[in-house]
């Protein structure tokens, strides 16, 4: 299904699908499995690496020598893009958005942004709410004026090109579910810039699977998030030659666990991060996977996700824990 699209190997694939027996026992409901996309391998891993296999290949196909992208100060996407650019010998121009108010010194200097600096990405800082489509065009123009060839990767690599990485993940996951003879009743993941959920739902539907997928939001309200995922899913389905494979009702988001906003810690995130660390030795992050996990735990406790076997897609992000060192309640 994806053979015709250029792809550059960046990720360690397949990522493992593992059972979490101690967490499952602690919650006393369904058996919980984790799809370890925190282990994609590039610069501490995460979900953007799968997307970048396609985005970076497109950049190389177009003859780019510089990639331009955008993210929050603690963006995992920016960190993985900066590392991929180094690996492929490309320059990396980054527009960093100050989305969090009253950031701590660790937030501004540790975690992902420290790694961006180690990878030598050129970081430019902008206030929250900037029109980044326009600003990225300006940076691309500047690269061209200097004799370079830019390629713009949108935030989170969430367009139909990057989403191919999660179409690919859905195919991989369905193969593992079959191999392990699991009867999976739900798949749960964090959803932000939408490429992960959109790619997954396209992959699941195109493969004829009827396992429901739930995205737990970290940013936007529910209607807006579902609309964003559905639109990208339609574009991605079209792009791979499977138009119409995703129906509007296949796209389900729950945005009840955002708390006060993007990147702002919540008590339930804090509890979830400690629970997974202490029951399974796994690291989740404060902005995305920790809030999604908090959502899944709450939905198991209140019986909404009471069925047999849940797969939680771990999208990574633990590098950001260091940026939140002062805000976690330990
Ligand atoms: C970007 C990111 C997500 C969200 O994925 P989207 O494709 O942007 O929806 C989830 N978890 C982590 C750790 C991320 O970095």
Q: What six digits make up the tokens of 268? A: 């339930």
Residue 25, pLDDT score: 97
Q: Is 213 in the pocket of ligand 1 (CB under 6 A)?
A: no
Q: Whose CA is nearest to atom 1 of ligand 1?
A: 156
Which of 192, 200, 254, 316 to mutate to test ligand 1, by most ligand atoms within 8 A of the CB atom?
192
Q: Is 165 in the pocket of ligand 1 (CB under 6 A)?
A: no
Q: What is the mean pLDDT of the chain?
A: 98
Strand-pair partners of 71:
96
Residue 194 CA to ligand 1 center (angstroms) comes to 8
Note the pLDDT tens digit of each residue in 204-228: 999 999 999 999 999 999 999 999 9
Beta strand 17-19 with 31-36 is antiparallel
Note the pLDDT tens digit of each residue in 22-45: 999 999 999 999 999 999 999 999
Q: What six digits make up the tokens of 99? A: 């989305």
- The catalytic position among 75, 110, 268, 289 is 75
CB-CB contact of 33 with 19 (8 Å): yes
Ligand 1 atom closest to 190 (CA):
10
End-to-end, the C-alpha distance of the chain in Å comes to 46
Note the pLDDT tens digit of each residue in 100-140: 989 999 999 999 999 999 999 999 999 999 999 999 999 99
Q: Is 46 in the pocket of ligand 1 (CB under 6 A)?
A: yes
The 8-class DSSP code of residue 304 comes to T
Residue 166, pLDDT score: 99
Give yes or no: 55 in active site: no
The H or E element that residue 27 is part of is: helix 21-27
Residue 218 CA to ligand 1 center (angstroms) comes to 9
Q: What six digits make up the tokens of 187? A: 């798949």
pTM score, two decimals?
Answer: 0.98
Residue 155, pLDDT score: 98
CB atoms within 10 A of CB 61: 12
Tell me the C-alpha distance between 183 and 205, whole Å. 17
Beta-strand ranges (E) seen in 218-301 are 252-254
Q: Is 77 in the pocket of ligand 1 (CB under 6 A)?
A: yes
Residue 191 CA to ligand 1 center (angstroms) comes to 6
Which of 288, 312, 324 to mutate to test ligand 1, by most ligand atoms within 8 A of the CB atom?
288
CB atoms within 10 A of CB 142: 14
Is pLDDT of 152 > 90? Answer: yes
Tell me the C-alpha distance between 47 and 80, whole Å. 9
Q: Is 236 in the pocket of ligand 1 (CB under 6 A)?
A: no
Q: Is 228 in the pocket of ligand 1 (CB under 6 A)?
A: no
- Give CA separation, 137 vs 143, 153, 217, 311, in Å: 10, 11, 28, 39
Which of 40, 196, 197 to mutate to test ligand 1, by most ligand atoms within 8 A of the CB atom?
196
Read off the pLDDT of each residue in 279-302 and give the average, rounded to a whole number: 98
Ligand 1 atom closest to 194 (CA):
9
Residue 250, pLDDT score: 98
What is the DSSP annotation of 141-177?
A: HHHHHTT--EEE--GGG-STTTTHHHHHHHHHHHHHH
Q: Is 270 in the pocket of ligand 1 (CB under 6 A)?
A: no
The 8-class DSSP code of residue 261 comes to S
CB-CB contact of 313 with 35 (8 Å): yes
């Amino acid at each position: 299904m994806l053979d015709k699209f250029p792809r550059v190997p960046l990720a360690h694939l397949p990522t493992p699908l593992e059972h979490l027996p101690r967490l499952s026992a602690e919650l006393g409901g369904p058996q919980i499995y984790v799809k370890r996309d925190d282990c994609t391998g590039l610069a501490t891993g995460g979900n953007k690496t799968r997307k970048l296999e396609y985005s970076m290949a497109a950049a190389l196909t177009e003859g780019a020598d510089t990639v331009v992208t955008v993210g929050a100060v603690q963006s995992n996407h920016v960190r993985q893009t900066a590392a991929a650019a180094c690996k492929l010998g490309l320059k990396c121009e980054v527009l960093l958005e100050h989305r969090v108010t009253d950031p701590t010194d660790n937030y501004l200097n540790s975690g992902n942004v420290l790694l961006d600096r180690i990878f030598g990405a050129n970081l430019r800082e902008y206030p929250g709410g900037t029109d980044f489509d326009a600003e990225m065009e300006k940076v691309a123009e500047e690269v061209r004026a200097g004799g370079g060839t830019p390629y713009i990767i949108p935030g989170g690599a969430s367009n139909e090109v990057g989403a191919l990485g999660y179409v690919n993940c859905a195919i991989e996951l369905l193969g593992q579910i079959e191999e392990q003879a699991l009867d999976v009743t739900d798949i749960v993941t964090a959803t932000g810039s939408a490429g992960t959920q959109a790619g997954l739902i396209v992959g699941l539907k195109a493969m004829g699977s009827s396992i429901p997928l739930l995205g737990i939001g970290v940013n936007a309200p529910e209607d807006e998030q579902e609309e964003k995922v559905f639109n990208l899913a339609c574009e991605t389905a079209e792009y791979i030659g499977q138009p119409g494979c995703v129906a509007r009702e296949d796209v389900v988001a729950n945005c009840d666990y955002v708390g006060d906003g993007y990147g702002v810690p919540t008590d339930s995130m804090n509890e979830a991060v400690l629970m997974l660390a202490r029951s399974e030795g796994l690291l989740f992050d404060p902005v995305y996977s920790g809030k999604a996990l908090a959502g899944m735990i709450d939905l198991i406790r209140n019986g909404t996700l009471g069925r047999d076997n849940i797969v939680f897609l771990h999208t990574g992000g633990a590098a950001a824990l260091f940026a939140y060192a002062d805000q976690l309640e330990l």
